[in-house]
Amino acid sequence: MVELQIDKNDTDKIERIEKEIQELKDNNGSKERSKFAAIGQSLVEIMPSAASSKLPGQDVMGWGRDNKYPDYLYNLTQTSSTLSAIISGCIDYVGGNGITRDTDIAPNDTDTWGDLIAKLTFDYLVYGVCYVNVLRNVAGDIVQYHWLDARKVRTNKSGNVFYLADEWGQWVKKFNTVPAFTPDSVEYSSILAIRTPLSRDTYPTPIWSAAIPSANLERKIDVYHTSEIENNFNASVLINFNNGRPTDKEKKEIEKMITEKFSGEENVGRFILSFNDSKDNQATVAKMETADFANRYSALEKSARQKLFSTFRANPNLFGIATESNGFNSEEYQSAFKLFNRTMIRPIQNTFVREFGKIGANLSIAPFTLE
């Protein structure tokens, strides 16, 4: 059993709650002698909302409840190994065997066309939208194309203005305003948004949106296993409150306080709260066996991976990820690639070719070939 360390402020709060519990007990005469609440590592959590709404006092439409939804998606690409492999593989496939333009002009001073399309493909896949900053010279001719990090871009309800900030939140006041690209524009700087066909709102829906919980689950399982090893599979913590059973509201307040201070992915032991009439009735806890946890989490992880691949309509073997099947020969590999190329890769390539044609760049993407 682990000893729980609580600082003075938390102790004062707990004592206050205990007094309130005792008063309620005296007034209401609780008949239940003991009540439990278990707090611990949760592998499933409420997903952040992607809904858009106006920021207070501005025309800027927030992306997600806290206006940081793209950051959440980006973090998943960095912490879900399967999602990362799929995104990286798709970027290679979209780039094909090379990207060229009808002239020898590079998109900007630092990128090749392959570099630019790779950055845009990442955003297109992860966020459902990518942004191209189009620059003109004094004569009004388009001279450069730059990738803009989608995490730093917001727009208004009509989508005809874009706002750029290094970091977004609910109360951001400082940002740059850039108009949307139009063919007859003479603005030095404008932005073209390339969105997925699933776009229905101010901000689009990523093609893998149905598998976002799966990517998050895979991330949490990885963290859980790491923490479990680092903590030497420590046992649980039992916290007894011996002044009676609180109301549901008070119980949630206690649980919330303990969870915020002592729980999380880095502390995989469960915290058990026991609310008792007296110490004579306090709970006893037997150690919970966890021998089969590895098998359970392995099954969950396998399911999460399958959902991610299904969402992208992809076969794991196309991304260098081994499967249980040993019968995936060269002919089956070619067949799987042709299907994936037709249903996922070619549509993205065609989108980039079409959209860049609108801004004066006629691109050609050599088809990817397996060797």
Query: How far apart are the C-alpha atoms of 357 and 366, rounded to whole Å?
Result: 17
For residue range 239-286, list pLDDT tens digits in order. 666 666 677 787 777 777 766 655 555 554 555 666 666 666 555 554
The answer, yes or no, to whether residue 37 has pLDDT greater than 70, is: no
List CB contacts of 349: < 8 A, sequence separation 6 or more.
94, 96, 365
Q: Quick one: pLDDT at residue 128?
A: 96
- Looking at residue 345, its pLDDT comes to 96
Per-residue confidence (pLDDT) for residue 215, from 0 to 100: 93
Lowest mean pLDDT among 67-71, 290-294, 296-300: 290-294
Q: Report how far residue 343's alpha carbon sits from residue 350's, in angstroms, rounded to the nearest whole number.
A: 12
Instruction: For residue range 301-333, list pLDDT tens digits in order.
Output: 888 999 999 999 999 988 877 666 655 667 778
Pairing of strands 237-241, 271-276: parallel
Q: Is the dihedral of CA 195, 198, 204, 208 positive or negative?
A: negative
3-state secondary structure of 49: coil
Mean pLDDT, the chain, rounded, equals: 80
Residue 201's pLDDT band, with cuts at 50, 70 and 90, is confident
Q: What pTM did the predictor assign?
A: 0.74
The predicted structure's pLDDT at residue 34:
44
Sign of the torsion formed by the C-alpha atoms of 73, 77, 80 and 82: positive
Q: Alpha carbon of 279 to those of 1, 245, 283: distances in Å? A: 18, 13, 9
From the number of C-beta atoms within 10 Å of its C-beta (0-12, 13-18, 19+), residue 10 rates as middle
User: Among residues 198, 192, 206, which one has the least CA distance to residue 159?
Assistant: 192
Q: How high is the pLDDT of residue 262?
A: 54
Q: Averaged over 103-112, what is the pLDDT? A: 94
